[in-house]
Structure 1
Amino acid sequence: MDPTIDSCTSKNHAPETISMDSSEQMIPPNKLLDKTNKIDIDKTKLTTNSSTSLTAQNSALLPGQVARVNLQQKPANSLANSSSSATGNPRNKTALAPGHSLMDWIRLGSSGVDLTGFKGVPQSITLKELAKHNQRNDAWIAIRGVVYNITRYMDFHPGGVPELMKGVGTDATKMFDDVHAWVNYQSILQKCVIGQLCRSKINEIIPNLNCKNSILSKILPTARGSTVEKIPKPLSSVLEIKTDWKQTTNSISFWYKPTPEQYSLTFRLICHSMTEFVINIHLPNGSIRHEYEMINKIQWPPQYRKSFDTMQLEFCFKKEDKKLWNSYGSRIVGTEKKEIGRIYRDWKVVSNKTLCESVNFLVLKADQYMEIIPVGRHVEVKINVSGTEVSRSYTPVPASFESNDESQQPSSDCICLIVKSYPDGALSPSLTSLQPGNYVTLSNCLGTFVIESFDEYKIVNMLAAGTGLTPMLGIIHRALARRNVSSINLLNFNREKKDIFYEEQLNNICLDTRVKVIHVLSQPKEPWEGKRGLVTENLIKEIIGVGSKQACVFTCGPVGFLSVTKGFLKNLGWNSSQMHEFNG
């Protein structure tokens, strides 16, 4: 059995754990608490001592963009270029020795062992000093202005020691962002924080010294139930977007008309009252804030519609009074030339249904809040395990595939996630065990994938293995709404028939004559008349053909699947500009 296909059904495809590819431990469902008490799992029953309390001291050294959010507190409330996170996969690139799983690392960090080498006393480290610690048994690394002692972590890294050694003794921020931007490294390495990276000419370690121009960002409050981490990024271009409004007796609508350069915009809406709401528009070069005050009451949430041809987006609010207004009221406009950081918010479980064995469909809703997430982007889901935040990224899926009856579809302010559970998972068993009324913490939209860069192609091809299907659902939904798309082809790989999730919905999608879905099983255990076996060059050639200037290809699945598929596609004449892979 080829592991490139076997793993596609036994693993998921986004960062399930804090460290990419780490193994997991189950969190008992009875540890899931209500809204008043956040999800807080202390599986190992470890005793807190003076060393473990240093976490709080170390967290003060983390800059705003990597500051930890306290999930215990109520209210509480990465990135890709040639590839991006989909639904994450805790697959290991190297075999970890016994006793070196993620949970083992969490236990070590909570045991009182000093992982910093300075007994938790914050230091300021120069680049020259950092460069001295570049050995296997003396390994420091800097990421986003924070220096970590990763000597003890070497044997716990699923990517292997050689991968970590590439960044040891250096500022590895760029290398990290190129490979693992979605990984919540600040959580897994929080007990390893030595101090700040000081880019000065001083060549020695300076205890307890805050470097100039290295002022730590604060976690700033936004709307009720949220925290935000601001990442300053000076920009010079003008921030503006075309808007319009219209009304009927029953409703009032606000239109947003992006320019061709304003692609993959994120919209975040916050309701303050029945007459006041805010629309935040996040552009590539900053954000625009529209604060509305209506002259009469409206109903929340609004319905929204988007044209994937013109990119025009409409938010339509129902009126309480059912009459024409003289005006909509007033609007205050503000702009900020800063890149948005991660915003964490509590989301309530509306429903949780099983799609197939170990795969669930969750519908989540936040209080008086909605976010429009571009196709192919993802969100981070977080819970607390023995005092350490465990996170994983998931790509939201369209709600409209759930039912042909609009009245049965989730409301516009909901986010839908497809989650695969693993018996030894640190996060997924708890996530799939959530009941309606439970709460979970989600980040805002993350990632840099730009679907509009593929709009020139008339034929959309997709190769998905296991839960690699997840990001394809958004691509299919968008392609169906575009007039210039003439053909949509999906090769969906699984091990057995029972592993095919969303089969009914895919069959409904195929009622559109432009769509063709081919299921391929590697190990069918029951009569199967469809295609079987592993992904091969001949199979790809048969279904999607050789490279064409009118077509593009999206792939998602385990590392092995992506590797062999990429090779086959190149052999068939597909250019890298026509391809995009979603991976963990």
Structure 2
Amino acid sequence: MPRCCGASLVSVVDGDGSPQSLGLQIQDGNPRNKTALAPGHSLMDWIRLGNSGADLTGVGGVPRIVTLSELASHNKKNDAWIAIRGIVFNVTQYMDFHPGGIDELMRGVGKDATKLFESVHAWVNYQSILQKCVVGRLSRGSVSGTTPSPTENTTVSNTADCSSATLNQITSCTTDCAGQENVPDGDLSSIKMDWKQTIQLITFFFKQQTCKSPGLCYELTKQTDSKLIFKLIFENDTTTHILDLIGKIKWPPTCIRNFETMQVDFTFLKQEKMPWINYGIQMIMRETSTARLFREYEVVANILLSNLVHLLVLRAKDFLQIITPGRHVIVKLNDIDMLLGKDLSRSYTPVPPCLHPDYMPPNYTSNCQCLIIKKYPNGAISPSITTLQVGQTLLLSGVVGTFAIEKYDRYSVIHMVAAGTGLTPMLGIIQRSLSKRSVKTINLLHFNKNEQNMFYEDQLEKVSGKKLKVTHILSQPRDTWTGIRGVVSYELLEELVGKCKPDECVFTCGPLPFMRATRM
């Protein structure tokens, strides 16, 4: 195949649609391996056509799954699809713009032309030239790329299988799930992905236009160094963004969640320090699923916080979750023999790695989850979890629960009443509230039996001040204790919390008797 118009990187990050901003290098003259193009069919004309709003995909601009048989049916000059490196492009309107001529381009039409392309001109930046022509992803399975109508006699996959699938199964399953056909245009549609870069870094960020998705959680999976899968999870509705990048990144990313703007940034180091003309190809899919998927996490730190309370830092391989404050995960042990053959599980609330940077736990990275777990000597699972050593593993589920902290954003004063490890769900709320300008006061009451049961007090003291007030109450302290003594009671709560005003709310967490007492 004769050489097409070359494409080389230039040091332009943001462009206006010109050849230079697309990273294209226009070649003047008429090299012997190029075909003379008719007037109005230059590279500049092709770029103008792409920027005109015309649908060059032929499928309405909605990415889809394309099977080999479907690809083969689009093998004519006036209906031409071509697959390169797993992505299918509609090159019908590009025919007359191809510098190598129509006949040469037709050699790859209707088939996977990756080998042909790479053997002739692998240096050409086809992603930029054909970025407006993407039909979707090539699937070598037998699943059709179109969603069957309800009247078609089609066997569909079980919705529950979707969330436990691999990448290839996900793309097939989300196409054919019965539950997906009736997914409404819900709140996740307001969340947009964008990107920015420097020479060394590339950032993908998601931002809600309004708070239409309270309790939104994120999952990110690295398939390869150039393929990422983002999942935005809201209740049982999931939007999946699959990115085929034009360059390679380093794992894990730096994750920043801005609680004011509701923007979440994922920033990666590039393996090669150079600007990207674009980030690559994106596919977006919707699915509904209630299936629960467990992943293996490795213990990278087990820190004793107090007499019986441990902080576990757990890391997944090529996977991370951002869980909204107040939600929880389900924990299972990998070694079922430790549980005498019983498959037991418990729910725990992930906590921030720290509230103050001086207390960042060892070995923590963005793809870690932190759990605070109290060891109950006669407990079914906590004695085994709290004795796990670095390098051992356990299983964590995805996010569970329906609590949505955003529903309480109208309150400027937050009271928290916690007993023992009932503090753990409060920590994420404290971290979030400290960063929000609308929250003026955080009043935390932490009840414990004695000094040996206290934990996190040094770190809470470090971040307390004008906005955060922390009060420790012990029921059986030593004689040297100078703080408040007692148990939760109406009189004590009236003294330390008072009567709530319209701009105040109260969060409580602890054992059942404690919870009953707080409602008196």
Deviation string 1:292-348 (CA, Å, 9 cap, x unpaired) is: 111111111111111112211111111111222111111111111x13421101100
Match of 1:264?
215
In structure 1, runs of 5+ residues without a counterpart are 1-212, 568-584
Match of 1:550?
503
Match of 1:204?
none
1:474 partner amino acid:
G
After the TM superposition, which residues 129-144 of structure 1 pair with which residues of structure 2 at under 5 Å, given as runs? none
1:425 paired to 2:379: yes
Q: Tell me, in whole angstroms, the C-alpha distance in 1 between the residues paired with 2:510 and 2:404.
A: 19
Match of 2:19?
none
SS of equivalent residue, structure 1 residue 401: coil
Q: Tell me, in whole angstroms, the C-alpha distance in 2 between the residues paired with 1:231 and 1:465.
A: 45
1:440 paired to 2:390: no
Shift of 1:382: 1.2
Q: Tell me, in whole angstroms, the C-alpha distance in 2 between the residues paired with 1:250 and 1:369.
A: 22
**Alignment equivalent of 2:434, drawn from 473, 480, 486:** 480
Match of 1:275?
226
**Alignment equivalent of 1:515, drawn from 443, 456, 468:** 468
In the superposition, relative to structure 1, how do residues 352 and 415 fare at CA in structure 2: closer, same or farther (>3 Å)? same
Q: Tell me, in whole angstroms, the C-alpha distance in 2 between the residues paired with 1:342 and 1:555.
A: 28
Deviation string 1:520-555 (CA, Å, 9 cap, x unpaired) is: 000113411000011122221222221111111000
Match of 1:246?
196
Q: Tell me, in whole angstroms, the C-alpha distance in 1 between the residues paired with 2:178 and 2:257.
A: 29
> Does the 8 Å contact 2:159/2:289 carry over to 1?
no
1:516 partner amino acid:
K
**Alignment equivalent of 1:462, drawn from 388, 410, 416:** 416
Shift of 1:401: 2.6
Shift of 1:457: 0.5
State how many pairs are aligned: 350
Q: Tell me, in whole angstroms, the C-alpha distance in 2 between the residues paired with 1:433 and 1:331.
A: 43
Shift of 1:406: 6.5
Deviation string 1:127-153 (CA, Å, 9 cap, x unpaired) is: xxxxxxxxxxxxxxxxxxxxxxxxxxx
In the superposition, relative to structure 1, how do residues 216 and 474 fare at CA in structure 2: closer, same or farther (>3 Å)? closer
1:542 partner amino acid:
E
Q: Percent identity?
A: 40
In the superposition, relative to structure 1, how do residues 322 and 356 fare at CA in structure 2: closer, same or farther (>3 Å)? same
1:323 paired to 2:274: yes
Q: Tell me, in whole angstroms, the C-alpha distance in 2 between the residues paired with 1:392 and 1:281.
A: 25
In structure 2, runs of 5+ residues without a counterpart are 1-155
Match of 1:368?
318
Shift of 1:562: 0.6
Cα RMSD of the aligned pairs, angstroms, is 2.5
In the superposition, relative to structure 1, how do residues 340 and 279 fare at CA in structure 2: closer, same or farther (>3 Å)? farther
SS of equivalent residue, structure 1 residue 341: coil
> Does the 8 Å contact 1:376/1:395 carry over to 2?
yes
After the TM superposition, which residues 12-51 of structure 1 pair with which residues of structure 2 at under 5 Å, given as runs? none
Q: Tell me, in whole angstroms, the C-alpha distance in 1 between the residues paired with 2:272 and 2:361.
A: 23
> Does the 8 Å contact 1:231/1:341 carry over to 2?
no
**Alignment equivalent of 1:237, drawn from 185, 192, 199:** 185
Shift of 1:391: 0.7
Structure number with the bigger relative contact order (C-alpha 8 A, sep ≥ 6) is 1
1:304 paired to 2:255: yes
Q: Tell me, in whole angstroms, the C-alpha distance in 2 between the residues paired with 1:271 and 1:315.
A: 12
> Does the 8 Å contact 1:306/1:314 carry over to 2?
yes
2:165 partner amino acid:
T
Match of 1:287?
238
After the TM superposition, which residues 141-156 of structure 1 pair with which residues of structure 2 at under 5 Å, given as runs? none
SS of equivalent residue, structure 1 residue 387: coil
> Does the 8 Å contact 1:399/1:409 carry over to 2?
no
Q: Tell me, in whole angstroms, the C-alpha distance in 1 between the residues paired with 2:235 and 2:159.
A: 24
In the superposition, relative to structure 1, how do residues 254 and 388 fare at CA in structure 2: closer, same or farther (>3 Å)? same
In the superposition, relative to structure 1, how do residues 315 and 445 fare at CA in structure 2: closer, same or farther (>3 Å)? same
> Does the 8 Å contact 1:352/1:362 carry over to 2?
yes
Match of 1:222?
165
In the superposition, relative to structure 1, how do residues 280 and 217 fare at CA in structure 2: closer, same or farther (>3 Å)? closer
Deviation string 1:346-386 (CA, Å, 9 cap, x unpaired) is: 10001001001111000000110001111100000113323
1:455 partner amino acid:
D
1:348 paired to 2:298: yes
> Does the 8 Å contact 1:299/1:318 carry over to 2?
yes
Shift of 1:566: 1.3
Shift of 1:462: 0.2
After the TM superposition, which residues 203-214 of structure 1 pair with which residues of structure 2 at under 5 Å, given as runs? none
**Larger deviation, residues 535-544 vs 342-351:** 535-544
**Larger deviation, residues 534-543 vs 386-395:** 534-543
Q: Tell me, in whole angstroms, the C-alpha distance in 2 between the residues paired with 1:496 and 1:231.
A: 55
1:551 partner amino acid:
E
In the superposition, relative to structure 1, how do residues 504 and 282 fare at CA in structure 2: closer, same or farther (>3 Å)? same
**Alignment equivalent of 1:562, drawn from 496, 515, 520:** 515
Shift of 1:506: 1.1
Deviation string 1:438-491 (CA, Å, 9 cap, x unpaired) is: 000111110000000000011111000111111111110000010111111101
Shift of 1:216: 10
1:449 paired to 2:399: no
Match of 2:446?
492
Q: Tell me, in whole angstroms, the C-alpha distance in 2 between the residues paired with 1:329 and 1:289.
A: 16
SS of equivalent residue, structure 1 residue 375: coil
SS of equivalent residue, structure 2 residue 343: strand
1:453 partner amino acid:
K
**Larger deviation, residues 454-463 vs 378-387:** 378-387
Q: Tell me, in whole angstroms, the C-alpha distance in 1 between the residues paired with 2:185 and 2:163.
A: 25
Match of 2:36?
none
> Does the 8 Å contact 2:163/2:292 carry over to 1?
no
Q: Which runs of 4+ in 1 moved over 3 A?
A: 215-221, 230-235, 405-409
After the TM superposition, which residues 91-130 of structure 1 pair with which residues of structure 2 at under 5 Å, given as runs? none
Match of 1:570?
none
Shift of 1:237: 2.7
1:367 partner amino acid:
K
After the TM superposition, which residues 64-83 of structure 1 pair with which residues of structure 2 at under 5 Å, given as runs? none
> Does the 8 Å contact 2:352/2:428 carry over to 1?
yes
Normalised by the size of structure 1, how large is the TM-score?
0.57
> Does the 8 Å contact 1:459/1:550 carry over to 2?
yes
In the superposition, relative to structure 1, how do residues 434 and 232 fare at CA in structure 2: closer, same or farther (>3 Å)? farther
In the superposition, relative to structure 1, how do residues 343 and 506 fare at CA in structure 2: closer, same or farther (>3 Å)? same
In the superposition, relative to structure 1, how do residues 340 and 253 fare at CA in structure 2: closer, same or farther (>3 Å)? farther
Q: Tell me, in whole angstroms, the C-alpha distance in 2 between the residues paired with 1:232 and 1:411.
A: 36
**Larger deviation, residues 404-413 vs 242-251:** 404-413
Normalised by the size of structure 2, how large is the TM-score?
0.64
1:328 partner amino acid:
Y
